[in-house]
Amino acid sequence: MNRKIITILLICLVAGILAVALTKYCLRESRSPVSLPKKKIVKKEVASSVPSPTPAIETQTPISVSEKHNEHIMEELQHLEISESVRTITGLYTGRKDYLARMKAMRQLTRNIKDDDTKALVLFLDSRSQGQKDLNLLEFNGVKNDALDVLLKQEKLPDGLGSRLVEMYRDKEHDDVWRDYCVQYFAEYYKQKWPDSANVEKEEPERTEIKSAYWEAVTEKDKTIAGTALIGLESLSRQYKEIYRDRISSNALELANEDTCIEASRITALRICGMMKKMDVLPSARIVAQTGETITLRMAAIATIGDLGDNEDMELVKSLAADPEKRISSIAQSALRRLEKRTK
């Protein structure tokens, strides 16, 4: 019996010891930190508010209409058999292309150049100033002006040159200086082409073109072209009765009275009125002589009064003859002498 009790007590003691040990183990494990899996941090790329610079793209300047036009002329020149002088003048020569080189070549041309040289120069006249690299505007138009002069001095006048001059004048892609030059040469071509002033029955399309272009040019009052046209028409009207002088003087009067007309053309209009005895211009001339915006405009008005004035203008012209501005007083003294001679 005693052995059973002792056995039971031993079992209870061992169980108690195991329970205590188990409890301590559990408590120790509960105090240990739990190892959690580390969270992977993902970096998000945030778009910048400032856009990254776009790589520069090289762009070519588009070729203008005039440059394409000039390229076409150069291509046409390539198909002609032309002299070295004309190749230099037109810029086709691969050597020097400056103004002096071209003018030197111009002096080599005679009054009887070959047909292909004539065709080349006519083509060259139609080349435009825009995009020219070897000559400035003044030089470029100077070379073309002399080339045109050479053509007009040929023993055989180039066919259709008058029509080409009209086309170039009407082409607003050409600069106004060259368009003015074309109008200047209308009269010279007209006289050479139709020297017989009495033969007006044979009206030709080219002749009609030139006359129509002249009257168009007179309306360009914001340019010197209007004055240039008046000068040419007045010159032709002395020889050709189909160029009506009354129409010329009426157009001149309109320009002389127009305050918005460019000064150069208005000066020309005043002087044409004086030459053609257009008395209706006197009221405007008297005002401009005193209040004109420039010295040259006033001088033109004073000269016109000298051409057309009467006794009523004596006092005005005498006062202008005493003007402190020497140019005004000088032209007024000349006008006064003509007035006194005419009114005696």
Query: What are 1-14's pLDDT values in tens digits?
Result: 445 445 444 444 44
pTM: 0.79
Closest CA to 257 of 273, 235, 245, 233: 273
Average pLDDT, the chain: 86
What backbone phi and psi angles, to 5 degrees, belong to 317? -70, -35
The CA radius of gyration of the chain, in Å to the nearest whole number, is: 47
Quick one: pLDDT band at residue 47, thresholds 50, 70, 90?
A: very low
Q: For 247, how many CA atoms within 13 A lie in the half-sphere containing its CB? A: 15
Contact 167, 213 (CB under 8 A): no
Distance from C-alpha of 301 to C-alpha of 251, rounded to nearest angstrom = 17
Q: Which amino acid is at 270?
A: L
pLDDT tens string 298-338: 999 999 999 999 999 999 999 999 999 999 999 999 999 99
Domain ranges of the chain: 65-158
Contact 161, 154 (CB under 8 A): no
Which residue is listed with tokens 């205590």? 20
Distance from C-alpha of 147 to C-alpha of 122, rounded to nearest angstrom = 8
Distance from C-alpha of 90 to C-alpha of 122, rounded to nearest angstrom = 10
The conformation of residue 278, written as its DSSP 8-state character, comes to: -
Distance from C-alpha of 17 to C-alpha of 23, rounded to nearest angstrom = 10
Q: What mean pLDDT is predicted for residues 134-148?
A: 96
Which residue is listed with tokens 């300047």? 61
Count the Cβ atoms, other than its own, within 10 Å of residue 29: 8
Q: What mean pLDDT is predicted for residues 204-212?
A: 95
- Straight-line distance from the first to the last Cα atom of the chain, in angstroms, rounded to the nearest whole number: 187
Count the Cβ atoms, other than its own, within 10 Å of residue 68: 12
pLDDT value of position 64? 85
Q: Comparing 52-56, 97-101, 284-288, which segment has the lowest mean pLDDT? A: 52-56
pLDDT tens string 267-281: 999 999 999 999 999
Distance from C-alpha of 171 to C-alpha of 237, rounded to nearest angstrom = 26
Judged against a pLDDT cut of 50, whether residue 29 lies above it is answered with: no
Distance from C-alpha of 227 to C-alpha of 2, rounded to nearest angstrom = 156
Contact 186, 206 (CB under 8 A): no
| 3-state SS assignment for residue 232 | helix
pLDDT value of position 16? 52
pLDDT value of position 57? 56
Count the Cβ atoms, other than its own, within 10 Å of residue 320: 24
Judged against a pLDDT cut of 70, whether residue 236 lies above it is answered with: yes
Distance from C-alpha of 326 to C-alpha of 305, rounded to nearest angstrom = 18
Distance from C-alpha of 39 to C-alpha of 254, rounded to nearest angstrom = 96
Q: What mean pLDDT is predicted for residues 90-110?
A: 91
DSSP string, 31-67: HSPP-PPPPPPPPPPPPPSSPPPPPP---PPPPPHHH
Which residue is listed with tokens 């010279």? 188
Quick one: pLDDT band at residue 34, thresholds 50, 70, 90?
A: very low
Distance from C-alpha of 105 to C-alpha of 86, rounded to nearest angstrom = 7
Maximum Cα interatomic distance, the chain, rounded to a whole number of Å: 187
- CA–CA distance from 229 to each of 59, 195, 209 (Å)? 44, 20, 14
Closest CA to 206 of 218, 198, 217, 214: 214
